[in-house]
Structure formats: C-alpha cells, structure tokens
C-alpha cells in the first residue's frame, strides 16, 4: 500500500502540501509496516527477505554477520522511531508500545548472553578467523545510529535507564569507539560514539577522537564535498554533512573549535549549490552506491540546520525534502511485505551491494531526522519555495560545475529535470556494478540508470568492441578536465589497469554541453587500435506501451519514444545522431530498468575499419527528454545548423570544431592540451 499524504496545507507548502504532521504520518506509515513483521516485544527487527544471492547474511554466514543483521534492523528502524517516540511516547503499533520496545531491545543488543545480543567488538574479534589486524565490522556503522537515536529519545529512553544499564550500554559503545574502523566515512561512526560517551560523562581517548576528526577534515575537496575513500557520492551528504553537524553539537564546538568551525563552513559551502542537485519536483538522482537509501540524500539539509550559523533557506530545504519523500513513498512498489524494497523504487537487484541486508533500506530514515526540529522551527514554518527554479527563464538551463568533486549538474527549466555529469572515477575493469553507479555519461532525476540490456550496449555508456574479437570493453576510469566556454571536458579510459600502458591510449575524449531539454555530445575517438565498433546507449525508457517514431533530416537520424512510467506519468525521449554515427538501434529489455519490468534502450553504433586510416573522429549525438507527450519541435530534435571543422577532410582529427545550433547557440569544442588538466 502506498503512502497517501494527509494534513495538507497548500498555503504553507504550495508545491507539496506537506506539513510537519504529514511527515509524522509518513514516519508512522514506514514504522507500522516494519512492526507488522514483529510478533512481540521480545522479537528482533529481522524483516522478510526475498533476495538471498547478493545481500547478507548468506546461508553459511558466520555468527557475527548474522548478529550484524539484528543490529542493523534495530538501529536503522530506531532512526524512524526515535523522533516519533519523543513526539508520541505512547505510540502503539501491532500491539507493541514503541518506546518500551526500543528500550528493551537496546539492552538486549548490548548484553552478552541475551538472545538478541549483537556482539561487541571484542567478541567479534574472537570469532573472526581472518587474522586481519585491521578487521572491522558492520556493527560499527550501527552504533552511530544507536547513539543518535538515544539522543533523539533522551527523555523517553536514555534518561530512564538505571546507572548500571547506562554503564552497560556505554561499555558496549566504548569497545567499538576505540577500535578499528574503515578509513573513510566510517571514522564518523567512531567519532559519534566517542562524543556520546563524553557528553554523558564517560571517559574517552581524546587523541583517538582528534585523529579521526582531522582525517575527516582532510578528505574535504571543496564546494561542501568530501572524498569518501576513492569516490564522490551521496555519502558526502548523508554522512559527512550530517554526522559532522551532530558531532559539532555534542563535542566539536566545545572541545575542537577549529575543526568544528571548518565542518560548519563546509556545510554552508555545500548549501550554496546542493539544492540544485535536485530537480523541480525535489527528486533525488539515482547515482552512486547505496542507492537503496533513496531520499536519505536530503538529510544534509537537516545537518546544516543543526549548525550554529546555518545558511540554508528553510523553505527551499523543506520543499526538496518533501518532494523527495513523495518521490518514493507514494509509489505502490516501494514496499515489500511492509518494508522498503532492496531497490531504488521497486526491487532492483543490479543496484545491490553485498554489505546490504533486508533491513538496510531503513537508512533512508535519515531523511526523517528533521522531525527532531520543533514545530515552531523555520524548517516547518517557512513557506515552500523553488529556489533556482523560480528564477529560470523559459527554456533556460542553469549549469553548476564543481571541480573539487568533479560534478556538473544542469537544471533544465524546459522539463524540470536535473541532469548530473560526473568525473574523478576509477573502478576495477570487471566492476560493472561500480560503472553503473558512477560511470554513466549522464544521470537524470527522471530517468534512473539502466543496467546492461545487452552485451554490446549500455545505457549512457560507450561499449567498445575491437573487431573481430567479440569481446566488449567499457570505461572504468573517468578523468575530469572541467568546463571551458560552456563545454564540459572529460576523458574515459577503457579497461584501465596499472599493468598495461597500452590501456592509457584506449580512450574517448568527452565533450558535452546543455541544451534546453538535455545534453548535446561531441565526443572524440582516441583509440590505439582498430578496426573497432562503438555503441552508445541513451537513457533506459520504461516500457509500459511505447510509441516509436523515426525521423531523418539533413542526413541526421532520430528516434522518438513516447510512453509512461510505472506510475502512469507521461514520458518522452528523443535521440538524435549526427556526424560520426551510422545507425540508431533499439533493444527491448526485461529486468534492467529500476522503474518498470520492461524497458526500451536506443543506441547509436558505428565502425572504424582501418588500423591507421584518417576516418571521422568526432561522434555527435543528443538526448532530450520531457515529462509529457507534447511533441518536440523539429528544430529541437534536429538542432544543428552547421558543424565547422578545422581539417579539410571534416573528420575532426585536429583543431577545434565549431557547432552552430539553429537557435543561435555557438559552441567550440577543442581538446587541445586536455592532457594538462586531467584529474582524479
């Protein structure tokens, strides 16, 4: 059953209607589905499971892994319930008082000998046969959720424990807080554990705290973004810019004012551009790992509001948070047996990682932490506004380019969609999952990424085949160059590995720029060998009955798709190929699209026959989309008036290429000296 919003107020919230009462109802909706699967106050939060091949625990999982699922269910569902417990301490679901349940289950989780004991760090080390001196465990993650929830429900739960019970919880937390952790966003989990202990009068090693904090600060790259290990993704937003705000209030402002001030400055820097990461409806883009956390990406707004000198516009923040909440909760495929699915919308196995279990999607409840803000807080009382979207002229696109994290996002007034282009990516050449999450050429808020519909075609990715091998190669590295004269430059490397220098020359130079309804591509082949075949798929199109229209003009070809997504929303996509490409193909696929069971993927293809022949190097294409069936104009589908090459052969082998569009737009693509500024 999908969530039906109540308590609507379109004066206060003209775009979503949602109020604080609506959010409380949404939290109860989520929690009631979970508690429908809990038989008694003694039972752990272990949810029904339909996926067993990718997610944990496996059938032969060690005990600590099984216990991790217990703790993940407890801590992440507590994220939903903790604000509710403070607001409605007598809330009862499925015959269970929610406050009493979590008070009891937290004690079970930390108490050796109890059936629902989740194992402390020391006990897990004893069970771990890996002999890894740096071993750390999933439970570390959940301790951070636990302390946040104990803080949110302090009066109702933490303050009601006896001293002995508090000491028992504190000893469990201290065992994790002072132990190994993963050297990326996980440091924040240890920092919150230590801060909670300090805040409640327990001794901690302040040098360990300081070491973690300075490392977190060192991951910062600018524009509010942090490098999370190797990657840039939403962890900058639901971890670095959420947990640092809590840490500042618990510990940093008092004990480490320099670091705390930097965390606050970084959060405020994020707020300058982060609202434009979302589209006009407030939709979150499907991008990066842990997509099952969905709208948890909006928790960074709540994090900023926790800072002493917050700068985010509260009316804009609530509009985005509410829009993203509705994006997921109002779909009829969002829940399975009352619990958020292992997917982005409905179940979608290609999105999953082995570190997730059936309870992992509850992490999306970070978006609900805003319920800790009192009802008279500006987040709840300010009138919703659209920020950037209110100021865009007709068919104007606002492009934001951030060199620090290698991100470029375009807000298209014409269709209300936000499109993201990414860089600074390095994945193993066999890691298709990582490439889907990070290496797509474009990510759209209204066309979530599609996984592999065929061996030789990927959505929004190039696939290379060296003829006649029948082996397919994909770009596992994306280097960032940045924007110049409204053109974004990147480079993708196929099958990159340190051991083989030749791979450094198996590349595509990427150049693209925004047009009113999408992105125009002017990419250049730079391969060390031929003959070859290249394909480039466009966005996956949900197939719930799709009209297919083919057009040609001035030697260019286009295919237009019209249909509807799973919710019945009208969709339209037009894919146009120009110089360099030969044909547009079409694939009907099943199980590769996160929105609908069936999908259609359009793709361009071309071949180059000569090992060292001077053949066309540039590949021009355009993908435009809209949320209606209203026809694109002919000039929108075929936008090019003229392409001017430097070389007389018109292959683009050297020199700048000038693209003149029919609306008067003029873009010059010049890869000269791209080597001077490529970065990871």
First to last CA, the chain: 44
- Crossing angle for the helix pair 63-87 and 139-152, nearest 10 degrees? 20
Rounded percentage of the chain residues whose pLDDT exceeds 70: 100
Instruction: Give the integer Cα–Cα distance in Å for 406 and 593.
Output: 26
C-alpha neighbours within 13 Å on the C-beta side of residue 497: 9
Instruction: Identify the pLDDT of residue 641.
Output: 98
Nearest to 679 by CA among 385, 514, 477: 477
Instruction: Identify the pLDDT of residue 196.
Output: 98
Q: Measured over all CA atoms, what is the biggest interatomic distance in the chain, rounded to whole angstroms?
A: 85
Q: What band does 433 get if pLDDT is binned at 50, 70 and 90? A: very high
Q: What band does 383 get if pLDDT is binned at 50, 70 and 90? A: very high
Instruction: Identify the pLDDT of residue 319.
Output: 98
Nearest to 541 by CA among 430, 479, 615, 624: 624
504 has pLDDT over 80: no
Instruction: Identify the pLDDT of residue 64.
Output: 80
Of residues 130 and 226, the one with the higher pLDDT is 226
Instruction: Identify the pLDDT of residue 130.
Output: 85
Considering only the top CATH level, what class is 20-390?
mainly alpha
503 has pLDDT over 90: no
Q: Which tokens go with 76?
A: 């992440």
Q: Which tokens go with 481?
A: 């160059």
Instruction: Identify the pLDDT of residue 490.
Output: 98
Instruction: Identify the pLDDT of residue 1.
Output: 82
Instruction: Identify the pLDDT of residue 474.
Output: 97
Q: Tell me the per-residue pLDDT of 265-306, one tens digit each, with 9 for 90 and over.
A: 999 999 999 999 999 999 999 999 999 999 999 999 999 999
567-570 CB contacts, 8 Å cutoff, 24+ apart: 567/331, 569/627, 570/627, 570/628, 570/629
Q: In angstroms, what CA-CA distances link 37 with 65, 215, 339, 446? A: 21, 41, 9, 32
Instruction: Identify the pLDDT of residue 337.
Output: 97
Q: Which residues pair with 490 in a beta bridge?
A: 480, 510
Q: Is this model's pTM higher than 0.85 or not?
A: yes
Tell me what the mean pLDDT of segment 398-403 comes to: 98
Instruction: Identify the pLDDT of residue 110.
Output: 98
Q: Tell me the per-residue pLDDT of 384-396, one tens digit each, with 9 for 90 and over.
A: 999 999 999 999 9
Q: What band does 498 get if pLDDT is binned at 50, 70 and 90? A: confident
CB atoms within 10 A of CB 601: 27
CB 128 within 8 A of CB 120: no
Instruction: Identify the pLDDT of residue 26.
Output: 98
508 has pLDDT over 80: yes
Tell me what the mean pLDDT of segment 657-671 comes to: 98
Q: What is the CATH number of domain 450-677?
A: 2.70.98
Q: What band does 415 get if pLDDT is binned at 50, 70 and 90? A: very high
User: Three-state secondary structure along 291-334?
Assistant: HHHHHHHHHHHHHHHHCCCCCCCHHHHHHHHHHHHHHHHCCCCC
Instruction: Give the integer Cα–Cα distance in Å for 39 and 194.
Output: 34
Tell me what the mean pLDDT of segment 373-382 comes to: 98
Q: Tell me the per-residue pLDDT of 534-569, one tens digit each, with 9 for 90 and over.
A: 999 999 999 999 999 999 999 999 999 999 999 999
Tell me what the mean pLDDT of segment 205-225 comes to: 98
Distance of CA 1 to the CA centre of its chain: 25
246 has pLDDT over 80: yes
Instruction: Give the integer Cα–Cα distance in Å for 459 and 485.
Output: 27
Q: What band does 505 get if pLDDT is binned at 50, 70 and 90? A: confident
Instruction: Identify the pLDDT of residue 435.
Output: 97
Instruction: Identify the pLDDT of residue 129.
Output: 85
Q: Tell me the per-residue pLDDT of 564-614, one tens digit each, with 9 for 90 and over.
A: 999 999 999 999 999 999 999 999 999 999 999 999 999 999 999 999 999
502 has pLDDT over 80: no
Instruction: Identify the pLDDT of residue 62.
Output: 82
CB 342 within 8 A of CB 358: yes
CB 566 within 8 A of CB 346: yes
User: Three-state secondary structure along 621-636?
Assistant: EEEEEECCCCCCCHHH
Domain boundaries, the chain: 20-390, 450-677
CB 97 within 8 A of CB 91: yes
C-alpha neighbours within 13 Å on the C-beta side of residue 311: 13
Q: Which residues pair with 484 in a beta bridge?
A: 487
Q: DSSP label at 153? A: T
Local structure of 368: helix, strand or coil: helix
Q: Tell me the per-residue pLDDT of 84-134, one tens digit each, with 9 for 90 and over.
A: 999 999 999 999 999 999 999 999 999 999 999 999 999 999 988 888 989
Rounded percentage of the chain residues whose pLDDT exceeds 90: 95
Q: What band does 381 get if pLDDT is binned at 50, 70 and 90? A: very high
Q: Are strands 518-526 and 618-626 parallel, antiparallel or unpaired?
A: antiparallel
CB 364 within 8 A of CB 345: no
Q: Range with the lowest mean pLDDT among 90-94, 310-314, 459-463, 676-680? A: 676-680
CB 535 within 8 A of CB 555: no
Q: Tell me the per-residue pLDDT of 311-353, one tens digit each, with 9 for 90 and over.
A: 999 999 999 999 999 999 999 999 999 999 999 999 999 999 9
Mean pLDDT estimate for the chain: 97
């Amino acid at each position: 059953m999908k969530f039906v919003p109540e308590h609507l107020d379109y004066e206060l919230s003209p775009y979503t209607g949602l109020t604080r009462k609506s959010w409380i109802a949404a939290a109860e909706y989520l929690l009631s589905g979970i508690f429908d699967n809990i038989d008694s106050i003694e039972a752990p939060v272990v949810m029904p499971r339909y996926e067993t091949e990718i997610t944990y625990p496996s059938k032969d999982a060690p005990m600590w892994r099984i216990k991790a699922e217990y703790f993940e269910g407890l801590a992440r569902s507590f994220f939903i319930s903790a604000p509710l417990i403070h607001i409605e301490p007598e809330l009862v679901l499925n015959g269970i008082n929610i406050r009493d349940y979590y008070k009891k289950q937290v004690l079970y989780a930390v108490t050796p000998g109890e059936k629902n004991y989740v194992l402390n760090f020391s006990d897990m080390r004893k069970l771990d046969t890996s002999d890894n001196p740096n071993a750390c465990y999933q439970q570390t993650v959940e301790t951070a959720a636990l302390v946040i929830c104990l803080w949110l429900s302090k009066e109702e739960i933490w303050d009601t424990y006896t001293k002995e019970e508090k000491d028992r919880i504190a000893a469990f937390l201290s065992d994790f807080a002072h132990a190994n952790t993963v050297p990326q966003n996980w440091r924040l989990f240890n920092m919150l554990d230590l801060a909670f202990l300090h805040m409640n009068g327990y001794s901690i090693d302040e040098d360990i705290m300081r070491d973690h904090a300075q490392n977190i600060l060192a991951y910062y790259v600018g524009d509010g973004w942090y490098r999370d290990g190797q990657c840039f993704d939403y962890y900058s937003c639901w971890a670095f810019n959420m947990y640092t705000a809590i840490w500042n209030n618990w510990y940093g402002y008092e004990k480490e004012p320099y670091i705390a001030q930097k965390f606050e400055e970084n959060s405020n820097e994020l707020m300058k551009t982060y609202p434009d990461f979302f589209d006009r409806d407030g939709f979150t883009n499907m991008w990066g790992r842990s997509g099952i956390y969905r709208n948890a990406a909006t928790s960074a707004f709540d994090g900023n509001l926790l800072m002493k000198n917050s700068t985010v516009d509260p009316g804009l923040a609530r509009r985005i948070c509410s829009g993203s909440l509705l994006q997921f909760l109002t779909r009829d495929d969002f829940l399975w047996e009352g619990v958020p699915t292992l997917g982005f919308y409905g179940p979608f196995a290609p999105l999953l990682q082995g570190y997730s279990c059936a309870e992992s999607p509850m992490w999306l409840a970070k978006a609900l932490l805003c319920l800790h803000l009192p009802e008279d807080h500006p987040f709840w009382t300010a009138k919703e506004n659209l920020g950037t979207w209110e100021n865009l002229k007709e068919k104007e696109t606002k492009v934001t380019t951030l060199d620090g994290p290698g991100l470029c996002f375009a807000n298209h007034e014409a269709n209300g969609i936000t499109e993201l282009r990414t860089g600074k990516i390095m994945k193993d050449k066999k890691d298709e999952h990582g490439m889907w999450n990070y290496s797509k050429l474009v990510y759209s808020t209204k066309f979530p990424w599609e996984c592999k519909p065929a061996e030789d075609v990927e959505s929004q990715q190039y696939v290379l085949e060296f003829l006649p091998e029948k082996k397919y190669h994909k770009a596992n590295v994306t280097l960032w160059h940045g924007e110049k004269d409204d053109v974004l430059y990147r480079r993708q490397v196929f099958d990159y590995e340190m051991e083989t220098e030749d791979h450094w020359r198996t590349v595509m130079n990427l150049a693209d720029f925004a047009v009113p309804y999408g992105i125009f591509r002017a990419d250049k082949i730079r391969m060390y060998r031929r003959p070859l075949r290249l394909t480039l798929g466009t966005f996956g199109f949900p197939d719930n009955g799709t009209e297919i229209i083919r057009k040609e003009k001035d030697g260019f070809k286009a295919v237009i798709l019209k249909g509807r997504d799973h919710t019945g929303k009208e969709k339209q996509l037009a894919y146009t190929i120009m110089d360099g490409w030969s044909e547009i193909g079409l694939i009907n696929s099943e199980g590769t699209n996160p929105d609908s069971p069936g999908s259609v993927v359009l793709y361009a293809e071309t071949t180059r026959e000569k090992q060292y022949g001077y053949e066309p190097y540039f590949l021009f294409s355009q993908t435009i989309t809209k949320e209606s069936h209203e026809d694109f104009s002919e000039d929108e589908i075929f936008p090019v008036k003229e392409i001017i090459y430097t070389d007389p052969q018109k292959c683009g082998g050297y020199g700048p290429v000038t693209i003149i569009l029919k609306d008067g737009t003029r873009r010059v693509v010049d890869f000269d000296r791209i080597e001077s500024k490529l970065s990871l």
